[in-house]
Amino acid sequence: MQKRLMDLPEGGGDSQQQNRSKQRCGGKRFVELRPREQRQLLPPSLEEMVEPDDPVRAVAEVMAAVDMSRFEEAYRGGGRPAYPPRVVCSVLVYAYMLGITSARQIARALRTDVRMMYLAHGLRIDHRTVSLFRRRHAEALEDLFREVVRIGIRVGVVKMGQVGIDGTKIAARAGRRVYSAEELEGMMERIRQDIRRYMEESRRVDEEEDERYGEGMGDELPEELRDRERLREKIAEAIKELKEGEQKAVSLSEPEARVQKIGREKRPGYNCQVAVDIDSGMIVSQAVVVEQSDNGQLGEMMECIERDSGRAAEVVTADGGYESKESIEAAERWAPRTEVYIGRGSGGRKTEGWGRERFDYDEEADQWRCPAGRVLVRVGDKEVGGKRYAYYRAQVSCRDCEYIQQCMGVRGKSRYRALLVSEHGREIEEMRRKAASEAGREAMKRHWGTVERVIGQIKCVLGLRRFRLWGLAGARVEFTLACIAVNIRQMARWLVGGVSVKVAEGMG
């Protein structure tokens, strides 16, 4: 018999404890354990090992109903058979539901997690296959997302009555280190000097050419300098992007990822947009963009909603980050089919002091007059949060004004009252009044209670706070998988247990 690590020597152990264990009356104290080496005549099936109401069954049911022809067309057949795309997709979606995004961890789970084995029919898919599948089928995964959304509509889960749009920043695969144009130019100069130094040295030792380079010409760069040559090309591209764009810094390893404010720090990342059906909590559209601000995304997302779900929402809501000329134009373009509300915030502390509605505007003189009769004149333009405003300021100190506390707030420290006025200030004010109406307040209340929770699921439950795949294309693949996972989590409430709704019936 094989010796165990913790086997005690003969006669060892606590004899008193053994005797106490035997002094018990009536039956056994503990379940009798079978030896692990004992074989079973009829081992349990994977079907028996998964609970009837386990959410993994919702994944299997939804994935069995979707059309996988887009994936299957990529395989010609012949040679070694490929893993069925339906199985790999099921495994990927469920892995993201569990917060597992690493291909190696997914491959490991296929050997240890019964639910993953259930989805894979016992197949042990290697990590390389999982990783290549994500990259290879980026467009097909977006089609899969759309089909899951439309299944939700057909089974009656998604109502499309009100859809809330919001954005969140997720860190890129690249590290935190970013470089300004001056730093990149300094690196470029050092690389030039290293290459120049090597070329001068090679010319001084021409007599050793044949011995060193054989049949070569003698001026080829060695491997370490070839790497620097490639780095120099990458730096040149980064400098060009900085000079042509509006960025002040860039990541060398992932130039597509712009510097975003993520939590309390700034680092390379992407702006991830979601459109959430308020009634069901399902994501009906999603996008990953490089822009740092949300103010130009409303119109694009409204078009994405119709493209992905096949229909327009009755009501669309968004927070104050979407206030812009583009959003106003989008609201006008979609009216009256879709009602648009843009709120000013997420229900936090209101800004102290008087708003612009307490001031009178003189269009001919292009100036504002406060309730105390003081004039605010335009002194220039100012950019705040990616938006450009006309900047108006009082010409005399407001510290002696009788309305100073009401006008500037008790925390106001400035001596001069100022106003920031957007180019489309009147239209924005009209949008704000609309959002402040009874219908607007009710719509925004539902918006903040649902959309923020869905974003929290992506970041906290699924754990997607940083992408694993490189580049914008990789970020879009991962975010698409995360959104599919969130949607199936929501549909699981309908497809498993309490409510007897079946996907097959909905598709029929």
Q: What does the pLDDT profile of the chain (508 residues) look like in tens digits?
A: 555 555 555 555 555 555 555 555 567 788 888 887 888 777 788 888 888 888 899 899 899 989 999 999 988 877 888 999 999 999 999 999 999 999 999 999 999 999 999 999 999 999 999 999 999 999 999 999 999 999 999 888 899 999 999 999 999 888 777 666 666 666 666 666 666 665 666 566 555 555 555 554 544 545 554 555 565 565 666 566 655 666 667 677 777 888 888 878 888 889 999 999 999 999 999 999 988 888 889 999 999 999 999 999 999 999 988 988 888 888 889 888 899 999 875 444 445 678 777 888 888 888 899 988 889 998 888 877 666 788 899 888 888 888 888 888 766 677 888 888 877 777 777 888 888 889 999 999 999 989 999 999 999 999 999 999 988 999 999 999 999 999 998 888 766 544 344 554 554 4
Which among 489, 474, 470, 472 has a CA at the least distance from the CA of 99? 489
Q: Does a structural domain hold residue 58?
A: yes
pLDDT value, residue 350: 47
Q: Does a structural domain hold residue 142?
A: no
Q: Does a structural domain hold residue 231?
A: no
Measured in degrees and rounded to the nearest 5, phi and psi for residue 379 equal: -115, 5
pLDDT value, residue 282: 95
pLDDT value, residue 90: 95
| CA 221 – CA 198 distance, rounded (Å) | 8
296 and 393 in a single domain? The answer is no
76 and 124 in a single domain? The answer is yes
HSE value, Cβ hemisphere, 13 Å, CA-based, for 436 = 7
Domain extent at residue 457: 162-172+271-348+432-472
| CA 476 – CA 89 distance, rounded (Å) | 16
53 and 125 in a single domain? The answer is yes
Query: Which 8-state DSSP code applies to residue 189?
Result: H
Measured in degrees and rounded to the nearest 5, phi and psi for residue 167 equal: -125, 155
Supply 347's token pair: 């229900």
Measured in degrees and rounded to the nearest 5, phi and psi for residue 269 equal: -170, -170
Q: What is the pTM of this model?
A: 0.77
Cα 63 vs. chain centroid, distance in angstroms?
A: 23
166 and 287 in a single domain? The answer is yes
Residue 369, beta-bridge partner list? 360, 375
Buried b (16+ CB within 10 A) or exposed e, 331-361: beebeeebbbbbbbeeeeeeeebbeeeebeb
pLDDT value, residue 120: 93
| CA 300 – CA 294 distance, rounded (Å) | 11
406 and 438 in a single domain? The answer is no
The four Cα atoms 230, 135, 107, 272 give a dihedral, to 10 degrees, of 100
303 and 379 in a single domain? The answer is no
Q: Which amino acid is at 490?
A: Q
Query: Do residues 299 and 326 make contact, with C-beta atoms less than 8 angstroms apart?
Result: yes
| CA 367 – CA 375 distance, rounded (Å) | 7
282 and 420 in a single domain? The answer is no
Q: Can you give the CATH number for the domain in which 286 is found?
A: 3.30.420.10
User: Average pLDDT, whole number, for the chain?
Assistant: 80
pLDDT value, residue 295: 85
Q: Please list, in sequence order, all residues whose beta carbon lies within 8 angstroms of the beta carbon of residue 152, skipping any fewer than 6 positions away.
A: 158, 277, 280, 282, 487, 490, 491
Residue 271, beta-bridge partner list? 169, 289
Q: Does a structural domain hold residue 237?
A: no
Q: Does a structural domain hold residue 209?
A: no
Q: Does a structural domain hold residue 260?
A: no
For the chain, what percentages of helix, strand and coil (3-state, to nearest 5) are there? 45, 15, 40
411 and 286 in a single domain? The answer is no
294 and 367 in a single domain? The answer is no
**Cβ-based neighbour number of residue 452 at 10 Å:** 16
Q: Does a structural domain hold residue 218?
A: no
Query: Do residues 342 and 327 make contact, with C-beta atoms less than 8 angstroms apart?
Result: yes
| CA 275 – CA 167 distance, rounded (Å) | 9
Query: Do residues 298 and 285 make contact, with C-beta atoms less than 8 angstroms apart?
Result: no
Burial class (CB within 10 angstroms; exposed 0-12, middle 13-18, buried 19+) of 459:
middle
Looking at the 3D structure of the chain, how many domains does it have?
3
Q: Is the N-terminal amide bond of 35 cis, ω within 30° of 0?
A: no
| CA 507 – CA 67 distance, rounded (Å) | 11
445 and 301 in a single domain? The answer is yes
Sign of CA dihedral 186, 188, 192, 198: positive
132 and 54 in a single domain? The answer is yes
pLDDT value, residue 498: 40
| CA 250 – CA 180 distance, rounded (Å) | 7
Give, for 109, the enclosing helix (H) or strand (E).
Answer: helix 103-112
Query: Which 8-state DSSP code applies to residue 310?
Result: S
Q: Does a structural domain hold residue 507?
A: no
Supply 121's token pair: 């029919």
114 and 66 in a single domain? The answer is yes
Report CA Rg, the chain: 32
